[in-house]
Amino acid sequence: MRDRPEDKLRAEEDIKELMVRYRPIITFRVRKAIGAQNTDCDDLVSEILSQVMEKITSGEFRGESSLGTFVYTITSRRIVDYIREKTRVMKFAPEPEPFPDPQETLEQKEMSEKVQAALEKLKPKYRNALYLYYYQELSREEAAARLGISPRKVSELVNYALKLLRKEMKI
Amino acid sequence: MRKCKFEDMIDGYLLNKLSERDKELFEEHYFNCPACFEELQARSLIINTIKNHPEVLVSEEASLKVPLATRLKRELAAFFNVRQLAMTGVISLIFLAVIIAVVPKRQALLPDFTLTDTETVRGSSITLISPVIDMNQVPSFFEWKKLGENVEYQISISNHELLWKTTTKENRVVLPDEVKAKMVPGERYSWQVKAFGPDGSLIAVSSRVQFLVSTK
């Protein structure tokens, strides 16, 4: 039954769907762990995806956990291995992604320009809240003290600003 | 749309503020929750942009200056507690009330003259010194209290009609012989002094004082 051509086709479609679904998630996790500027990112993501596919086709994934958790576990293990390998060579493990990111890709640059345009359109009260909360990384309480408003109001300003930005950028 | 309980961890995760345990929990979660991953990507883009281009948020008009009213409120709060602030308010009100009450009166004191036939006189006055009582003989001089420097005085002497008029910068005038000759015993005379400022404006007027030159 398993070797019927239509079943094989279905399995291939599932794998394709799986790749489309998990590639961005794995990429995000890898970039966050080893730094977006790290040139090994793409290779590592491809390697993880191959491992996932291999384990699914070999029947190693038996549905004991969700597929997401299964992919997450493989990703995490591979990242730990990568850092271990690099530590031996580099003496120091790579730091998590630093700010600012100097290796913005063209696509990211375009998106970033969109965000900048949207940020510029915000009222000063929203910009001030975003600056203190995200750029200076102050807590809600610290930002509240700086702005002379309540911490609850800081949350409201930040959340509403995010909403306005996403509406403006249509993302 | 119902909010996922993990959504509150997004900022902490992106800003590396989560504990190792929470970080792992959240990572596992976004591998399973498309809504959270979508939000994570969008917010990551926004935070990255803010980190790379903070100048967008601190342009001139949106400078991080705290609004003036808030700053004043905070600075006042640093100096006064609520009770002291209330007291300051009350004192300021009283002070204001006094100013409002006094200023119009002060203005009323300023020279304001209407000199017609009925001669209404208001404003500063000049004190006449001599003659102010009945005289045994025709007075040889007229004297009044000096008002200040650079004041010109106009003196007028009348009985039924104007007898003599002159101006001087002194506070005293000697009666010329020809006028003296016109004044006869038994008659009643009156005199008045008006003061003018350097610009020629009337600044003070004395009352009109009468005196009798007795026949002896």
Q: What is the pLDDT of residues A57-100, one digit of tens each?
A: 888 887 778 889 999 999 999 999 998 888 776 555 555 555 55
Q: Is B48 on the interface with A (CB under 8 A)?
A: yes
Q: Which residues contact B161 (CB under 8 A, 6 or more apart)?
A: none
Of B46, B51, B70, the CB nearest to A100: B51
Q: What is the pLDDT of residues B188-204, one digit of tens each?
A: 888 899 888 888 888 88
Q: Is B32 on the interface with A (CB under 8 A)?
A: yes
The ipTM (two decimal places) reads 0.83
Burial category of A170 from C-beta neighbours within 10 Å (exposed 0-12, middle 13-18, buried 19 and up):
exposed
> Higher pLDDT residue, A171 or B120?
A171
For position B35, what pLDDT does the model report? 92
> What percent of chain B is predicted at pLDDT more than 90?
26
> What percent of chain B is predicted at pLDDT more than 70?
78
What CATH number belongs to B5-61? 1.10.10
Q: Is pTM beyond 0.80 here? A: no
- The amino acid present at B183, given as its one-letter code, is M
CB contact under 8 A, A29 and B31: yes
At residue B83, does pLDDT exceed 70?
Answer: yes
Tokens encoding A76:
């995490």
For position A145, what pLDDT does the model report? 92
Nearest-by-CA chain A residue for B64: A128
Note whether B142 and B173 are within 8 A (CB). yes
CB contacts < 8 A, A to B, total 107
For B141, phi then psi, to 5°, come to -145, 160
Residue spans per domain, chain B? 5-61, 77-108, 112-212
Note whether B7 and B36 are within 8 A (CB). yes
Domain B112-212: CATH class, spelled out: mainly beta
Burial category of B33 from C-beta neighbours within 10 Å (exposed 0-12, middle 13-18, buried 19 and up):
middle
Q: How far apart are CA A36 and CA A44, in angstroms?
A: 12
Q: What is the pLDDT of residues B25-35, one digit of tens each?
A: 999 999 999 99
Q: How far apart are CA A144 and CA B163, in angstroms?
A: 86
DSSP B84: H
Q: Is B102 on the interface with A (CB under 8 A)?
A: no
* Beta bridge partner(s), residue B141: B174
Note whether B147 and B204 are within 8 A (CB). yes
**Tokens 């976004």 belong to residue:** B30
At residue B108, does pLDDT exceed 50?
Answer: no
For position B62, what pLDDT does the model report? 45
CB contact under 8 A, B49 and A112: yes
Mean pLDDT of B125-148: 84
Q: Which residues contact B170 (CB under 8 A, 6 or more apart)?
A: B153
> Higher pLDDT residue, A37 or A159?
A159
DSSP B123: S
Mean pLDDT of B117-123: 55
The full 3-state SS of chain A, as one line of letters, equals: CCCCHHHHHHHHHHHHHHHHHHHHHHHHHHHHHHCCCCCCHHHHHHHHHHHHHHHHHCCCCCCCCCHHHHHHHHHHHHHHHHHHHHHHHHCCCCCCCCCCCCCCCHHHHHHHHHHHHHHHHCCHHHHHHHHHHHHCCCCHHHHHHHHCCCHHHHHHHHHHHHHHHHHHHCC
Of A101, A124, A146, the CB nearest to B61: A124
**Tokens 């809600």 belong to residue:** A140
At residue B81, does pLDDT exceed 80?
Answer: no
Strands lying side by side in the sheet with B141-144: B128-130, B141-144, B172-174
For position B24, what pLDDT does the model report? 93
SS3 at position B204:
strand
